[in-house]
């Protein structure tokens, strides 16, 4: 089971956190600090796995972002590594050449995508198309609402002229 997913930049800035096991707020910052120092200190060409407090953190670096997931020691590390890659591929597909800035400004969308891939710490969908289909279906409603809103604002703007 995945205990938490973490996105941190090379500078140690947090870009996304998702907790599947309950951690109190105070402990969260401690966990993030510990895990990020552990991972950022590791050089290239080493294992993508680190032992941490009896759990295992699987991480992978994409450009300047580190994607980390904390799993049980009995889990398959390579599989988790591929779950991370799966997530990144879907992000890439959704945003089109995803970059760190996309995730900074649209972190809520990244959360929505993550929610479609992982649920309660388990992989729920390995089909990229199915994930994207669902996310865009939800987005289309947002778009519709937005259009409504902007047309309304135009009317108001005209009325107030």
Partner 1 sequence: MEQLRTIGRELAMGSQGGWGQSKEFLDLVKSIGEARSKAEEDRIIARELEHLKRRLADPDVPRRKMKELLLRLVYAEMLGHDASFGHIHAVKMTHDELLPLKRTGYLAVALFLDERHDLVILVVNTIQKDLRSDNYLVVCAALTAACRLIGEEAIPAVLPQVVELLAHPKEAVRKKAVMALHRFYQRSPSSVSHLVSNFRKRLCDNDPGVMGATLCPLYDLILEDPNTYKDLVVSFVNILKQVAERRLPTSYDYHQMPAPFIQIKLLKILAVLGSGDKQASGHMYTVLGDIFRKGDTASNIGNAILYECICCISSIFPNPKMLEAAAETTSKFLKSDSHNLKYMGIDALGRLIKINPDIAEEHQLAVIDCLEDPDDTLKRKTFELLYKMTKSTNVEVIVDRMIEYMINITDHHYKAEIASRCVELAEQFAPSNQWFIQTMNKVFEHAGDLVNIRVAHNLMRLIAEGFGEEDEGADSQLRSSAVDSYLRIVGEPKLPSSFLQIICWVLGEYGTADGKYSASYVIGKLCDVAEAHLTDDTVKAYAISAILKIFAFEIALGRKIDMLPECQTLVDELSASHSTDLQQRVYELQALLGLGKHAVESVMPSDASCEDIEVDRNLSFLNSYVQQALEKGAAPYVPESERSGVISVGSYRSQEQQETSAYTLRFEAYELPKPSLPLATSQASMSTPTTDLVPVPEPGYYKEGHQTSRSQPSGDSLSGEFGVKLRLDGVQKKWGRPSYSSSPTPSSSTSSQQATNEGSHSDGGGSTSSQTRESSYGSKRQQGTEISAEKQRLAASLFGSSASKADRKAQASRKTTKDSPSTEKATVTNAAPQPVKEQVIPAAPPPDLLDLGEPSSPPSADPFSQLEGLLGPASASPVLSETPATSSSKTPDLMSIFSDDVQTGATSGSTEPTLGDAKLKNFHKGATAGAAKKGPSLQDALQKDAAARQVGVTPTGNNPNLFKDLFG
Shortest Cβ 68–partner 1 spacing (Å): 14
What is the per-residue binding string for partner 1 in 23-62, x denoting contact by CB under 8 A?
A: --x--xx--x---------xxxxxxxxxx-xx-----xxx
Listed residue (101, 72, 58, 130) closest to 113, CA to CA: 130
Q: Are 117 and 124 in contact (CB under 8 A)?
A: yes
Is 17 a binding residue for partner 1 by CB under 8 A? The answer is yes
Site for partner 1 in 96-115 (CB under 8 A): 96-102, 104-108, 111-112, 115
Beta carbons within 10 angstroms of residue 54's beta carbon: 7
Cα–Cα distance measured from residue 104 to residue 108, given in angstroms and rounded to the nearest whole number: 9
Query: Total number of residues binding partner 1 (CB under 8 A)?
Result: 97
Q: Are 25 and 16 in contact (CB under 8 A)?
A: no
Shortest Cβ 105–partner 1 spacing (Å): 4
Choose between 17 and 68: whose C-beta lies nearer to partner 1: 17
């Amino acid at each position: 089971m995945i205990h938490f997913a973490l996105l941190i930049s090379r500078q140690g800035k947090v870009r996304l956190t998702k907790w599947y096991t309950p951690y109190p707020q105070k402990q969260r910052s401690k966990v993030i600090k510990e895990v990020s120092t552990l991972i950022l200190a590791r050089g290239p060409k080493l294992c993508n796995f680190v032992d941490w407090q009896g759990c295992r953190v699987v991480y992978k670096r994409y450009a300047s972002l580190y994607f980390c997931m904390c799993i049980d020691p009995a889990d398959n590390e390579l599989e988790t590594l591929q779950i991370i890659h799966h997530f990144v591929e879907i992000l890439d597909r959704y945003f089109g050449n995803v970059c760190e800035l996309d995730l900074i400004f649209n972190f809520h969308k990244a959360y929505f995508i993550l929610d479609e891939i992982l649920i309660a710490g388990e992989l729920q969908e390995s089909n990229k198309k199915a994930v994207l289909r669902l996310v865009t279906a939800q987005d289309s409603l947002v778009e519709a609402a937005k259009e409504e809103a902007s047309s309304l604002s135009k009317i108001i703007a005209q009325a107030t002229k």
